[in-house]
Amino acid sequence: MESIDRMAEATVDDALLLCGRFQRPLSFSLEQLKRYESVTATPFDLRCYTTNRFIGNVDAYRGVRLTTLISEAGLPSDVPGEFKRTVFIAVGQDGYVVTFSWHELFNTPIGENVLVAYECGGRRLDADDGAPILFSGSDILPAPRHVKRLARIEARVLTPSA
Ligand SMILES: Nc1nc2c(c(=O)[nH]1)N[C@H]1C(S)=C(S)[C@@H](COP(=O)(O)O)O[C@H]1N2
Ligand SMILES: [Mo]
């Protein structure tokens, strides 16, 4: 029932979609994201990787770990070890794309600080503020993987090209 309810809400404007190689594609509204265990990040400076431009100080984000959402959608288990070859493509509503690997998220400390944020400095973020915002709190220069208006997470399994 729970997953049927979710799919019924898949058309909500601020919904985040998990699609591709998951056991069950899921859609999360901002309100649904708040039902999961939350993590509060440390404030950080937002700086562009390409130009080193200082964009601003970002207060403490609160949100759900990306790994929590991925585990909820489930990775396929039919092919042994396939999950370790999975990459996750995070796409903004404007088509902006960043990548994460399964190892990075589940097998390094980086994954513990990759959040889908819905609150900043104790204040709720709405769609007008760019929510949901995906960010990777352990990155050296955080702006590239600070994705405003996150629309979907696509799971793809990589294979060698030759
Ligand atoms: N949705 C979305 N998020 C994005 C980007 C983008 O083009 N689209 N650019 C990233 C990069 S490379 C930078 S430097 C910052 C720019 O932040 P600003 O738009 O607040 O200056 O946003 C990051 N997040
Ligand atoms: Mo950037």
Taking the CA of residue 149 as reference, the ligand 1 atom at the shortest distance is 1
Confidence band of 162 (pLDDT split at 50, 70, 90): confident
Residue 75 reports pLDDT greater than 80:
yes
Residue 10 reports pLDDT greater than 50:
no
Q: How far is CA 143 from CA 11, 35, 63, 100, 113, in A?
A: 28, 27, 17, 15, 14
Question: If you measure from the C-alpha of residue 147 to the centroid of ligand 2, how many angstroms do you get, rounded to a whole number?
Answer: 10
Residue 7 phi, psi dihedral angles, 5° rounding: -65, -35
Question: If you measure from the C-alpha of residue 50 to the centroid of ligand 2, how many angstroms do you get, rounded to a whole number?
Answer: 5
Q: What is the mean pLDDT of residues 119-125?
A: 98
Q: Is 146 in the pocket of ligand 1 (CB under 6 A)?
A: yes
Instruction: Give the global pTM.
Output: 0.92
Confidence band of 14 (pLDDT split at 50, 70, 90): low
Residue 93 phi, psi dihedral angles, 5° rounding: -60, -25
Using the structure block, give the residue that is written with the tokens 């130009």.
51
Which of 46, 53, 129, 146 for a ligand 1 pocket mutation test, highest count of atoms within 8 Å of Cβ? 146
Q: Is the domain covering 2-157 a CATH 3.30.1360.200 domain?
A: no
CA 21, 107, 46, 141: dihedral to nearest 10 degrees?
Answer: -110
